[in-house]
C-alpha cells in the first residue's frame, strides 16, 4: 500500500492531483507527499495526519514488533511447503519488505538452516535460497507448532495502538448524512434525531419495538455512515501464538483494485509505502442472532491448524456489532449481559489463550442490541443504565405506511390502488388484532406480483390480490 492509495481512499486527492505530483516528482525529485504540498494539493497537517494514522512499513526485523523466531518459522514453512526460493517470492507471501526478509535469511544462513544456491536473472538480479537438512527439520518443527501460513502477523501492541487511532466514536454526523445512509427506509424526523447523537457517540444503543419496523436494517446500515478506512491486520502475534484477525466476509476492501492500475501508482519513482500486513477496509459490521453463545465471545482454538481465530466482537473492532433478536439466543440474556459489563462500561475487554496468557484490548465498537421484546423483561435497571441510548422504533403512521407501500409496489412493477391500500389497513387494524409494520407492504407486493406472473394478469395490486396476500401473511386474519 502506498501513500497515494491512502490519500485516494480518504478522498483527500484526486487521480489528476496524484498525476501532477508524480510528474513534478520525476522532474524535481523528493517524496510524493512533499510534491503534493508544493503544488498546494495537500497541507502539511493533512499529510502528517495520514502518515501518523497509517501503519508504516517496517524496514528491519525489530521494527516489525514480532518475535524473530515467529518470522523465521514462517519463512522456513513457506520455503518448504510453497517452494519459495527468492526474496520477491517470500515478500509476496509474508507481505514484508525484502530488507526484513534479507535479515531473516542472513540469520538463517548463519544458523545453517538455509544456503545460497545461485541467482535468478531478471529486471533485478536476486539470490536463490534452499533449505538445508537442518532447515527442513526446523521447518517441520515450525509446522508442528502452528500450521498458519499467511501474511506475517503484527504485534499485539501495534494492533492496540492502531485500534485507538481509528475509533468509531467522535464522528460528528447530521440528519442529512443519516437520511442518505437510510435511503429507502421511511423514518420519522424524531427517530432520525434520536439516532444522530447515538451513532455519533460510538457507544451502546438499544433498538426495541414491534417486529418488522427496520431495527435490523438500521443496525446494518450504520457502518456505512463512516467514510474513512480502517486498517485490519491479517494476523496478530500474542505470546508467540498466532491469532487470525482478517475475515473477508466482514472486512471488505475500502477501495477495489482498479483495472487500469492507476490506484497503485506503480510509477517507479520514490513513493512512501505503508505496512502491507494491514488491509485497508471499510468499517466492519458483525451480526449475531439467535445462534449466539457465550463461547463465541472467546478466542477459538483450531486444533488442526494450531492457531486461534479472533471472536466475532474482536473482528468488529472500530466498527458495528449488532446483536439481533436479543433475548432469543441460546444463552440466557442475563449471562450474555454479564459478559459485556466491563467492555461496555470500561471500554476494554480481556481475552485468554490456552497457555493461560490473558491480554487486554480496547473495546472500540458501536454495540447495538436489537429486540422486539420488552427491555424490562431482558435486563435489570442496573444494566439498562449502562446503555446510554435506548430508541423505540414503532410502526409507521398511515401516511408513512402509504409511502412504504408505494415504494414496494413500484419495485415490483405494480400499480397500487386506493381500494387495495384501504383494505390492507382496515384488515390489519380491525379490532386491534394486528398493527401496521414496515415489512408488510413488500411481502404483500411480492405475493401479488407472483400471482400476476403466474396467471398473466395486469400488474396491478387489487383488493382481491391484497386480501390473498394477507391470508399468507397472518394466520386467521380473514376471521377478523
Q: Which residue has the higher pLDDT, 70 or 28?
A: 70
Rounded to an integer, what is the distance from CA 33 to the centroid of its chain? Answer: 28
Within 283-406, strands assigned E span: 285-288, 300-302, 307-309, 320-323, 348-352, 358-362, 366-371, 389-392
Is the pLDDT confidence value at 452 over 90? yes
For residue range 95-137, list pLDDT tens digits in order. 999 999 999 999 999 999 999 998 877 666 789 999 999 999 9
Pair 141, 245 in one domain: no
What gap in Å lies between CA 145 and CA 148, rounded to an integer? 9
Pair 233, 212 in one domain: yes
Domain count for the chain = 4
Pair 143, 244 in one domain: no
C-alpha cell of residue 245? 484477525
Pair 206, 313 in one domain: yes
What's residue 291's pLDDT? Answer: 87
What gap in Å lies between CA 150 and CA 233, rounded to an integer? 11
What's residue 270's pLDDT? Answer: 37
For 328, residues 6+ apart whose C-beta sits below 8 A from its C-beta are: 289, 290, 373
Pair 415, 342 in one domain: no
What gap in Å lies between CA 340 and CA 359, rounded to an integer? 16
What's residue 259's pLDDT? Answer: 41
Residue 237 DSSP SS3: strand
Residue 445 neighbours by CB distance under 10 Å: 26
pTM: 0.83
Establish if 59 belongs to a structural domain: no
Residue 233 DSSP SS3: strand
Is the pLDDT confidence value at 262 over 70? no
CA distances, 455 to each of 254, 411, 450 (Å)? 46, 20, 9
- Domain end, chosen from 392, 417, 447, is at 392
Establish if 279 belongs to a structural domain: yes
Can you tell me the mean pLDDT for 431-443?
90
- Beta-ladder partners of 321: 286, 367
What percentage of the chain carries pLDDT values higher than 90?
Answer: 62
Establish if 25 belongs to a structural domain: yes
Establish if 226 belongs to a structural domain: yes
Establish if 64 belongs to a structural domain: no
Domain containing 377 — which CATH number? Answer: 3.40.50.300
Pair 351, 403 in one domain: no
Pair 348, 210 in one domain: yes
What's residue 73's pLDDT? Answer: 97
Domain containing 130 — which CATH number? Answer: 1.10.10.10
Establish if 58 belongs to a structural domain: no
What gap in Å lies between CA 283 and CA 251, rounded to an integer? 7
What's residue 330's pLDDT? Answer: 82
| pLDDT, the chain, mean | 89
Pair 333, 453 in one domain: no
For 418, residues 6+ apart whose C-beta sits below 8 A from its C-beta are: none
Residue 330 DSSP SS3: coil
For residue range 227-251, list pLDDT tens digits in order. 788 999 999 999 999 999 999 999 9
Domain encompassing residue 467: 398-479
C-alpha cell of residue 72? 523465521
- Give first-to-last CA distance, the chain, whole Å: 63
Pair 140, 184 in one domain: no
Pair 320, 405 in one domain: no
Pair 344, 202 in one domain: yes
Q: How confident is the model at residue 271 (pLDDT cuts 50, 70, 90)?
A: very low
What's residue 241's pLDDT? Answer: 96
CB-CB contact of 108 with 75 (8 Å):
yes
Pair 264, 288 in one domain: yes
For residue range 156-209, list pLDDT tens digits in order. 999 999 999 999 987 788 888 888 888 888 888 899 999 999 998 888 999 999
- CA neighbours within 13 Å on the CB side: how many for 382? 5
C-alpha cell of residue 452? 400476476
- Domain end, chosen from 346, 362, 392, is at 392
Residue with cell string 518475535: 67
Amino acid at each position: 500500500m502506498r501513500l497515494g492509495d491512502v490519500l485516494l481512499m480518504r478522498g483527500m486527492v484526486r487521480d489528476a492531483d496524484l498525476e501532477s505530483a508524480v510528474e513534478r516528482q520525476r522532474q524535481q525529485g523528493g517524496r510524493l507527499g512533499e510534491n503534493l504540498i508544493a503544488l498546494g494539493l495537500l497541507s502539511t497537517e493533512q499529510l502528517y495526519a495520514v502518515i501518523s494514522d497509517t501503519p508504516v512499513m517496517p524496514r528491519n526485523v525489530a521494527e516489525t514488533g514480532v518475535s524473530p523466531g515467529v518470522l523465521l518459522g514462517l519463512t522456513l514453512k513457506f520455503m518448504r511447503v510453497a517452494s519459495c526460493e527468492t526474496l520477491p517470492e517470500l515478500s509476496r507471501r509474508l507481505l514484508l519488505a525484502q530488507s526484513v526478509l534479507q535479515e531473516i535469511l542472513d540469520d538463517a544462513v548463519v544458523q545453517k538452516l538455509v544456503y545460497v544456491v545461485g541467482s535468478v536473472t531478471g529486471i533485478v538480479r536476486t539470490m536463490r535460497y534452499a533449505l538445508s537438512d537442518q532447515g527442513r527439520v526446523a521447518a517441520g518443527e515450525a509446522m508442528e507448532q502452528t500450521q498458519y501460513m499467511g501474511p506475517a502477523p503484527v504485534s499485539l501492541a501495534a494492533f492496540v495502538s492502531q485500534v485507538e487511532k481509528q475509533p468509531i466514536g467522535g464522528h460528528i454526523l447530521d440528519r442529512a448524512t443519516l437520511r442518505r445512509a437510510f435511503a429507502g427506509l421511511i423514518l420519522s424526523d424524531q427517530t432520525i434525531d434520536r439516532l444522530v447523537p447515538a451513532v455519533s457517540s460510538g457507544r451502546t444503543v438499544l433498538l426495541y419495538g414491534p417486529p418488522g419496523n427496520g431495527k435490523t436494517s438500521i443496525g446494518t446500515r450504520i457502518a456505512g455512515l463512516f467514510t474513512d478506512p480502517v486498517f485490519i491486520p491479517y494476523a496478530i502475534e500474542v505470546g508467540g501464538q498466532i491469532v487470525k484477525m482478517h475475515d473477508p466476509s466482514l472486512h471488505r476492501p475500502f477501495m477495489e483494485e482498479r483495472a487500469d492500475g492507476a490506484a497503485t501508482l506503480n510509477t517507479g519513482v520514490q513513493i512512501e509505502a505503508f505496512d502491507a500486513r494491514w488491509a485497508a477496509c471499510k468499517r466492519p459490521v458483525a451480526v449475531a442472532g439467535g445462534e449466539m453463545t457465550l463461547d463465541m465471545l472467546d478466542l477459538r482454538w483450531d486444533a488442526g491448524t494450531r492457531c486461534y481465530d479472533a471472536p466475532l466482537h474482536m473482528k468488529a473492532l472500530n466498527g458495528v456489532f449488532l446483536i439481533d433478536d436479543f433475548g432469543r439466543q441460546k444463552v440466557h440474556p442475563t449471562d450474555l449481559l454479564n459478559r459485556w459489563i466491563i467492555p461496555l462500561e470500561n471500554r476494554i475487554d480481556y481475552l485468554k489463550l490456552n497457555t493461560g496468557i490473558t491480554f487486554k484490548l480496547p473495546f472500540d465498537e458501536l454495540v447495538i442490541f436489537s429486540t422486539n421484546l420488552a427491555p424490562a423483561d431482558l435486563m435489570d435497571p442496573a444494566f439498562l443504565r449502562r446503555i446510554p441510548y435506548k430508541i423505540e422504533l414503532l410502526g409507521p403512521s398511515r401516511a408513512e405506511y402509504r409511502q412504504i407501500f408505494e415504494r414496494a409496489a413500484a419495485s415490483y412493477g405494480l400499480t397500487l390502488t386506493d381500494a387495495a391500500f384501504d383494505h390492507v389497513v382496515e384488515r390489519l387494524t380491525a379490532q386491534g388484532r394486528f398493527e401496521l409494520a414496515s415489512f408488510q407492504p413488500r411481502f404483500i407486493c411480492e405475493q401479488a406480483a407472483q400471482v400476476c406472473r403466474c396467471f398473466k394478469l395486469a400488474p396491478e395490486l387489487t383488493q382481491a390480490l391484497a386480501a390473498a396476500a394477507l391470508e399468507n401473511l397472518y394466520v386467521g386474519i380473514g376471521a377478523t
